[in-house]
Amino acid sequence: MKRILIRSGKSPFRVASREEFLHQDLIGTNSGNLLFSDATHKILLTEHTEITSNGLPTDTSAARAKEINERYDVFVVPLANAFRPSFKASLDRLSTLIEQLTIPVVVLGVGAQADETFDVKRLGPIEASVKRFCRAVLERSASIGVRGELTASYLHNLGFSEAEVDIIGCPSMFLHGETFPALSRPGTIDAASRIAINLSPGAVTVGDVAGLADHAYRRFPHLTYFAQNMTDAQLLFWGDTSEASGNDDALPRRLSHPLFQENKVRVPLDPRTWLEELSTFDFAYGTRIHGNIAALLSGTPAVVLVHDSRTLELCRYFDIPHRMLRGLPGDIHPADLYAQADYRPLVDGHAERFRRFREFLGRNNLQNTFTHGDGGAAYETRLAALKLPSPIGVWDGSDDGAFQYRISRLHERAERSERAVTSLTKQNKELRKLVADLEKRLSGVERRAAVRIGPAIRRRVRRAKTDNA
């Protein structure tokens, strides 16, 4: 039995409550992370493997490294846009842990984060961290798996050879192995259509994200906005005072926005329920790469609106229909997006891409369920028996079963705040006393100095007057 440790927010078979997802951040700030980590779990699960989730926080202690070396045979690390400045500390922690491991370490689908022109100048501050991480991984694996050509080029320019870098895309696209789901036809996309939209607040500097949201809302009564960030989930769960305060925003990120007012916002908490809900829609579009991959995996046609390198390279590699967000009018009609989309390269080239992915796993001594197992049947059967959480929607203030948690959570926060205030008040008193003591000492020094130098100054003044007389 091969014992595999996976870096993921949770096991696909762990049924977590909304409160657990929010309190422990099981989605790693973004629901898309669970999509590729769950896919990895399914792909690697055979009768000869035992898979354990490591969680997302990285324990770099020698004790934890020793435990991993003793209990597991391989550490598998699915990643997304990990080569970015804001992830530097997390990347360094991963490197610190990996450098202590004696077992193989396999990285699946890591990517660099840059703009859509792939200008890597902004990655300068993390260059040393990226090199350190890749060296640590390559000392423990045959090669490192990256998301696409842009990340591969970035690593080649850092000195890593072609043999050390394999383009494998994202594991999420291989949820069904070498077979890609047949995509439905939406028919005429009009006011009667069920439309799913996904948006990245960070894309506002590239395109008219607010305009996309507004026009989608006005055109389609059956619209649902699938948000993915933890901040969105917290907003849905806790609410805010934006409506009462008149605090409006053109982007759907406050409850005063019409999409929240009409309960048309969802944050997925589990890939299975996410795909099940998306399968009932006619068309999906937006800036979220995994939001659109989820739609495609559910059989719903989707178009990605590309705003950065991480989405662009995956779209190019998998031939996912896409349009560049920069310069795209906010009132673009999804019917036009669908009319210009060609899904044949995506479907026709999928088997070849899966072959490359399978060979990458083989070079790193990892079996997969589609070649060496039951094709994921046992995984799906076990998953189907679970009552997994549906996407979280807007809390209307009524009893939704979470009142006790909310009160307990607020009480804990209040206690922590009180302890912090007490501690700061004590520190403030100590600092004020110290300042007062310093002022007294300084005042005494000044008085003594005046006593010592006063006569000398007066004599000089008298001489000066005599000389000038």
- Within this chain, do residues 143 and 281 fall inside the same structural domain, yes or no? no
Tokens of 448: 């003594």
Instruction: Share the mean pLDDT of the chain.
Output: 94
Q: Which of 330, 346, 362 is the last residue of a domain?
A: 346
- Within this chain, do residues 332 and 298 fall inside the same structural domain, yes or no? yes
- Within this chain, do residues 89 and 139 fall inside the same structural domain, yes or no? yes
The answer to whether residue 188 sits within a structural domain is no
Tokens of 331: 């009132």
Q: Give the bridge partners for 195, in sequence order.
A: 223, 283
Q: Which of 346, 372, 396 is the last residue of a domain?
A: 346
* Angle between helix 271-278 and 289-297 (nearest 10): 70
* pLDDT at position 144: 98
Output the CA torsion 348→351→356→359 (10° steps): -170
Contacts 24+ apart (CB under 8 A), 332-337: 332/212, 332/215, 333/189, 333/219, 334/189, 334/195, 334/216, 334/283, 334/285, 334/303, 335/188, 335/189, 335/190, 337/285, 337/303
Q: Element (H or E) spanning 323, and its range?
A: strand 322-324
- Within this chain, do residues 257 and 134 fall inside the same structural domain, yes or no? no
List pLDDT tens digits, range 89-113. 999 999 999 999 999 999 999 999 9
The answer to whether residue 466 sits within a structural domain is no
CB 20 within 8 A of CB 389: no
Number of residues that make up the chain:
469
Residue the block writes with tokens 């993390």? 126
- Within this chain, do residues 230 and 328 fall inside the same structural domain, yes or no? yes
* pLDDT at position 143: 98
* pLDDT at position 376: 97
- Within this chain, do residues 324 and 381 fall inside the same structural domain, yes or no? no
The answer to whether residue 409 sits within a structural domain is no
- Within this chain, do residues 341 and 360 fall inside the same structural domain, yes or no? no
CATH code at 23? 3.40.50
d(CA 74, CA 432): 56
Domain count, the chain: 2
CA distances from 418 to 4, 409, 423 (A): 44, 14, 8
* pLDDT at position 201: 87
- Residue range(s) defining the domain that contains residue 335: 195-346
d(CA 391, CA 407): 22
* Angle between helix 377-384 and 32-44 (nearest 10): 130
pTM: 0.90
Locate the DSSP E strands across 16-91: 49-53, 74-78
Q: Which of 323, 346, 369 is the last residue of a domain?
A: 346
Q: Which residues of the chain have pLDDT under 70?
A: 446-447, 449-459, 461-462, 464-469
- Within this chain, do residues 236 and 271 fall inside the same structural domain, yes or no? yes
- Within this chain, do residues 313 and 353 fall inside the same structural domain, yes or no? no
- Within this chain, do residues 18 and 86 fall inside the same structural domain, yes or no? yes
* pLDDT at position 126: 97
First to last CA, the chain: 108
- Within this chain, do residues 379 and 295 fall inside the same structural domain, yes or no? no
The answer to whether residue 247 sits within a structural domain is yes
The answer to whether residue 330 sits within a structural domain is yes
The answer to whether residue 159 sits within a structural domain is yes
The answer to whether residue 383 sits within a structural domain is yes
Burial class (CB within 10 angstroms; exposed 0-12, middle 13-18, buried 19+) of 379: buried
- Within this chain, do residues 354 and 226 fall inside the same structural domain, yes or no? no
